[in-house]
Amino acid sequence: MRLLRLVSGRLVSMIATLLVISLITYAVFVLLPSDPAQLSCGRPCTPERLADARAFMGYDQPWVQQYLAFLGGIVTGRTFGSGAAAVHCAAPCFGYSFQLNESVTHLILERIPVTFSIAVGAAVLWLIIGVGTGVISAVRRGTAIDRAAMTFSTIGVSAPSYLVGLLGILLFGFTLNMVPVNGYVPLTEDPVGWLWHLVLPWCVLALISAAVYARLTRGQMLDVLGEDYIRTARAKGLRERRVVGRHALRNVLIPVVTVFGIDLGSLLGGAVIAERVFSMPGLGALLLDAVGNVDLPLIIGVTLFSAFLIILANFLVDLVYGVLDPRAAP
Amino acid sequence: MTVSPTEPHLTKATRSPLLAVAGLAVEFEVDGDTHPAVRNASFELHGGQVLALVGESGSGKSVTAMAALGLLPATARVSGSITLDGAELIGAEPSLLREVRGGRIGTIFQEPMAALNPVFTIGDQVAEAIRAHRPVSRSAATARLLELLATVGLDDPARVARSYPHELSGGQLQRAMIAMAISCDPVLLIADEPTTALDVTVQAGILDLLRDLRTRLDMAVLLITHDMGVVADVADDVVVLRDGQVVEQAPAAQLFAAPRHEYTRALLHAVPTLPELRLAEPEPATPPAHEPRPLDTSAGTTPVVLLRNVVVDYPGRRRGRPVRAVDGVSLHIGQGELVALVGESGSGKSTLGRAIAGLVPVTAGTVTVAGVDVGHASRRELRTFRSQLGIVFQDPASSLNPRRTAGASIAEPLSLHTDLRPDAQRHRVNELLDAVELPSRLRGRHPYEMSGGQRQRVAIARAIALNPALLIADEPTSALDVSVQARILELLRSLQSQFGFSCLFISHDLAVVEQLADRVAVLHRGRVVEEGPADDVLRAPRHPYTSRLLAAAPVADPAQQALRRAAWRQLTTASS
C-alpha cells in the first residue's frame, strides 16, 4: 500500500519532468538556426522544393504546433507527407529521421542492446570492485592495503577513460591478443562472442568508476564505523564480520546507491566515449552521429530518451532507498 | 551463584568480587603523543550490587567500562587488570571477549536513538543479540524477545518489535536497549549514562526498572554517570573519578553524608538543589486551570515580553494534520525579570523561545517584544528588534562558527548593528570578555581551542554585545559539567543584575531553575499548566504535572531521594 502510493506519486512527477524536458529540448533545437528541410532539399534547391520539404516534415507550422504534433505522435503515431511519398511513423513515435529514413524509435531500439550490455555489465563490476575495495580499505585503515588501494584509486579517478581504453586495446588486444579490439556481437547470436567483445569495455569503465566508488565507500564506512550503533553491535558480542557486513554496510549503501543510480542512468543513455573507443554501435555513437549530421529529430529523440533513463534510474533509486532506509519512507 | 539477592551485604566480605579492576591504566596515542585517560584505577564490584562510577567529562569513566569490554579503539594502550569472576579481560582472546560482550556483560548507552541501528527493527536487533550467544531457532528467539520486551515494561511488545528506532520515543528505545542487554542473562550490566538523554519523568521510570531488574535477575550494575542525583537514587557504592584517577571510593550513604575528598565535596556542592518536596493535598478532581494573571502594573513599566494566546503549528508531513507545538500561551516578562520556561522534550518550550525571537512564525495570537509586534513586523522593524535580543543556545560547540575566533564571533553583532570603528569595536570586545570573566588573550582563540565553559561564555558575550533588552537562554548549561554549570549560572545572574536585561530561561532542569528564576512557567504539551513565583511553583506545586516533574527530579541525597522516589511512585500509580 505504502509502495503503491509512492510509485503512483512519483510516476506523476516523472511524467511532468519529462514533459518539461521535452519542451525545452524541442524549443532549443527548433530555434537553432539550422533548417532540416534545407539539408534534405537537394540541389538545386528551389523555393518550391524547399517549401514542399518543409510541409512534408511539418516544419511549416509554428513551433508550438510542431511540438504538440510531436507529443501527439508519441501516443498515436504520425504520418509525414501524403500520397505515395508518405512515411508512417508508428506509435510511440519520437520523431522521424529524414536523413536515415527511419523512425527515431526504431533507431533507438536498435541500439539499446549494445549500450545496455556495456552499461549494466560495467556497473555490476564497478559496484562490486568499488564497494569491496572501499570496505576493505576502511576496515584496514592506515595499513599498506589501505594505502595501496587509495593510491590506485587516485590514479583511477584522474585517468581519462579514452586513454585507459586505448591502452587496454593496445595491451590486451594487440600485444597480448587476448580479446577482440572492437565491434559488438548480439547476445542472442553468440553469447560467448558477446561476452568476449564486452570484457574490455567493461573492465575499462569499471576500473575508472570503481575508483570513485572505493573512495566514497571508504569515507562513508569510516563515518559509520564511528557511530554509536556500531559500538552497540560490538557490545552485543557480534563477530566483526557481521558488524561491518550487516550493521555498517547497510548504512553505507544508502548514499552509495544514490550516486549509483545517477551514474547508471547516465551511462545507459549512451556510453559515448566507450562506444567510440571500442567502435560499438550504441546510443552514444548514435547521438554523436546525429549531432555530426545535424539530424535534429534524432538528436531530440535520443536526448529525451537519455533524460527518461536518468529519471527512471532516480525513481528506482528512491524505491531501493525506501527498502534500505526505513526513515525515508513517506 | 546461590547468594540471595536480599542479603548481599552479609556475604560481600567473604566472597570474591564479580568485577575487579586493579591498577588499570589507559593511554591514547594521538600523533605520537600519549594522553593518559585512566591512571592506576582500582575498584571492585560484587554480585548483585550497583556501583556508580562518577566523574565529569574526561574523567575516564566511560573509558574504564569500554576497557572491560575490550572495545577501546586501536590507539589505546591498556595495562593493569580487569577480571570478571576471576577471568582476565585485558588482552583476552577475541573469542572470550565476544562471549563476554552481550553474554556475561550486557551494556546500555547514553543516547538510545543513536545506539540502535536505524535501518533494522527493534525485534531484529534484540533477536540478533540472543542468537549471537544462544543456539536457538528464529522462532524461539522471537518468543524470547517478546518476553523480554514485556519484562522491561513495554506495552504491546509485538508492535515495538516491528518498529524501527525512529518510530519510538527515547524512553521506549532505552527500554528496548535494556531488553537487548539482559537478553542473555548477564551477571553484570554496564549502564553508561543510561538516562542522560532522557526527560526526568522518563529517567525515573528507567531507574526504577534498573533497580527492579537488578533484584529480580540478581545482576550487578556498573553505572556510569555524571549525575549525583542518579547516584543517590540507585547506587550502593560509589567510585569518584577525576582526570583518570580514583579520588574516593565509599558506600553511597557514607559518601553523600561525609565526603572525604575535597573534589567530591566540590562536586556535591556544585549540584543545584531542590527544596524539600511538599506535594499538594489530595489533588482536586480537576486541576486548577492556568489563567493568565492580570499584569502586574504596579511597577509602572510595560513588560518587555508580552504573549497573548500564542499558537504555533508546524506543518504535518505530507497531507497529515499540522502539529500544534504551542497551544495558546499567554505570558509576560517584566523589565529585568528572569522567567524560566520549564518542560520536557516536546513540551514546546524551545518553539516558544523561537517564536519570541521571531524565528518561527506564529499561527495565532500576538507576540510583543520591546514594543514590537514580532508576528507582523516589517523587515526593518525586525532588524531593529533583533538588536534588542540576545540568544544563547544549548551547545556552544555548534552555535559558534568553528572558523571564527572568539573575538570575531563577539564582534559580529557589533559590526551588523552598530557603526563602531575597529578600535572602538576591539575595546568593546575586551569589555565583553571581561564581563564574562574571560581573559582578553582568548579573543584570538578558535572554539576548538577552548573548553565547553569558555565557549559558552563567549556565546554569552556575543548575546549581550548589544546590551539587549531580552536575553533568551535555551538550555544554556545542559551540555556542560555540573561544576562548569554552576559557574555559568552564577555568571548569568551577575550579568543580569549588572546589565538589567530581562531573561527567558528555557530549561528542563528544575534545580537549575530554582537557583535562578524569579518566576516559573511550566509547559506541558504546548500549554502553560502552572505559572507563578519560583518559590511557590517549586515548593508547593498546584498542578499534578508539576508535582510529577518535581518528584521525578533526583536529588543528591540518598535519604531525600528515597522519599522522592516513593512520592513519584505514588503519583504515577495514581495517575495511571
The per-residue pLDDT for A329 is: 60
- The beta-carbon contacts of B446-452 under 8 Å, at least 24 apart in sequence, are B446/B402, B446/B403, B446/B404, B446/B405, B446/B406, B447/B396, B447/B397, B447/B400, B447/B401, B447/B402, B447/B404, B447/B406, B448/B402, B450/B406, B451/B484, B452/B57, B452/B396, B452/B397, B452/B479, B452/B480, B452/B481, B452/B484
Contact B472, B459 (CB under 8 A): no
The per-residue pLDDT for A176 is: 80
Contact B108, B186 (CB under 8 A): no
Nearest of B132, B26, B556 to residue A240 by alpha carbon: B132
- Give the H or E element holding residue B79: strand B76-84
Query: ipTM strictly over 0.90?
Result: no
Quickly count: other Cβ atoms within 10 Å of residue B246's Cβ: 23
Quickly count: other Cβ atoms within 10 Å of residue B291's Cβ: 9
C-alpha distances out from residue B519 to B172, B237, B527, Å: 33, 38, 16
Nearest Cα of chain A lies from the Cα of B142 at a distance, in angstroms, of: 17
Contact A302, A283 (CB under 8 A): yes
Nine cell digits for residue A64: 508550438
The per-residue pLDDT for A294 is: 82
Decide: helix, strand or coil at residue B350: helix
Interface contact flag, A330 B119, Cβ < 8 Å: no
pLDDT surpassing 80 at residue A283:
yes
**pLDDT level of residue A206 (50, 70, 90 thresholds):** confident
Quick check: B182 contacting A, CB < 8 Å?
A: no
The per-residue pLDDT for B8 is: 45
pLDDT digits (tens, 9 = 90+) for B146-190: 999 999 999 999 999 999 999 999 899 999 999 999 999 999 999
Residue of A nearest to B110 (CA): A228
Q: Is the peptide bond before B439 cis (omega within 30 degrees of 0)?
A: no
The conformational region for residue B277 under phi > 0 = left, psi -120 to 50 = alpha, else beta, is: beta
Q: Is the peptide bond before A92 cis (omega within 30 degrees of 0)?
A: yes
pLDDT digits (tens, 9 = 90+) for B181-220: 999 999 999 999 999 888 888 899 999 999 999 999 999 9
Judging contacts by C-beta atoms under 8 Å, the chain B residues touching residue A254 are 119
Nearest Cα of chain A lies from the Cα of B107 at a distance, in angstroms, of: 7
Residue of B111, B117, B192 to mutate for A, most A C-beta atoms under 10 A: B117
Nearest of B68, B119, B80, B346 to residue B222 by alpha carbon: B68
Q: Which domains does chain B possess?
A: 17-104+186-270 (3.40.50.300), 113-179 (no CATH), 399-467 (no CATH)
The per-residue pLDDT for B287 is: 47
Q: Which residues contact B466 (CB under 8 A, 6 or more apart)?
A: B387, B388, B390, B413, B414, B417, B418
Quick check: B393 contacting A, CB < 8 Å?
A: no
Ranges of chain B with pLDDT below 50: 1-13, 282-289, 292, 294-299, 576
The full 3-state SS of B378-441, as one line of letters, equals CHHHHHHHHHCEEEECCCHHHHCCCCCCHHHHHHHHHHHHCCCCHHHHHHHHHHHHHHCCCCHH
Interface of A with B (CB under 8 A): 227-229, 231-239, 247, 250-251, 254, 324-327, 330
Q: What distance, in Å, lies between the first and last C-alpha atoms of chain B?
A: 37
Residue of A232, A242, A246 to mutate for B, most B C-beta atoms under 10 A: A232
Nine cell digits for residue B154: 513495554
Nearest of A105, A79, A109 to residue A92 by alpha carbon: A105
Judging contacts by C-beta atoms under 8 Å, the chain B residues touching residue A236 are 101-102, 128-129, 132, 180
Nearest Cα of chain A lies from the Cα of B64 at a distance, in angstroms, of: 14
Burial of A221 (0-12, 13-18, 19+ CB in 10 A): buried
The per-residue pLDDT for B2 is: 44
CB hemisphere CA count around A146 (13 angstroms): 13
User: Over the Cα atoms of chain B, what is R_g?
Assistant: 26
Stretch(es) of chain A classified as CATH 1.10.3720.10: 106-328
Q: To the nearest whole number, what is the mean pLDDT of chain A?
A: 85
Nearest of B344, B342, B346, B354 to residue B310 by alpha carbon: B354
Contact B280, B539 (CB under 8 A): no
**pLDDT level of residue A134 (50, 70, 90 thresholds):** very high
CB hemisphere CA count around B321 (13 angstroms): 3
Quick check: B261 contacting A, CB < 8 Å?
A: no
Nearest of B209, B56, B184 to residue B132 by alpha carbon: B184
Nearest of B141, B215, B142, B151 to residue B178 by alpha carbon: B151
pLDDT digits (tens, 9 = 90+) for B53-82: 998 888 889 999 999 999 998 889 999 999
Residue of B100, B107, B110, B119 to mutate for A, most A C-beta atoms under 10 A: B119
B98 vs A227, A229, A237: nearest CB:
A237
Interface contact flag, A251 B98, Cβ < 8 Å: no
The per-residue pLDDT for B318 is: 57
B114 vs A227, A237, A330: nearest CB:
A227
Which B residues 114-143 touch A at CB under 8 Å? 114-120, 128-129, 132-133
The per-residue pLDDT for B4 is: 45
Structurally, at CATH architecture level, domain A106-328 sits in Orthogonal Bundle (1.10)
Judging contacts by C-beta atoms under 8 Å, the chain B residues touching residue A257 are none
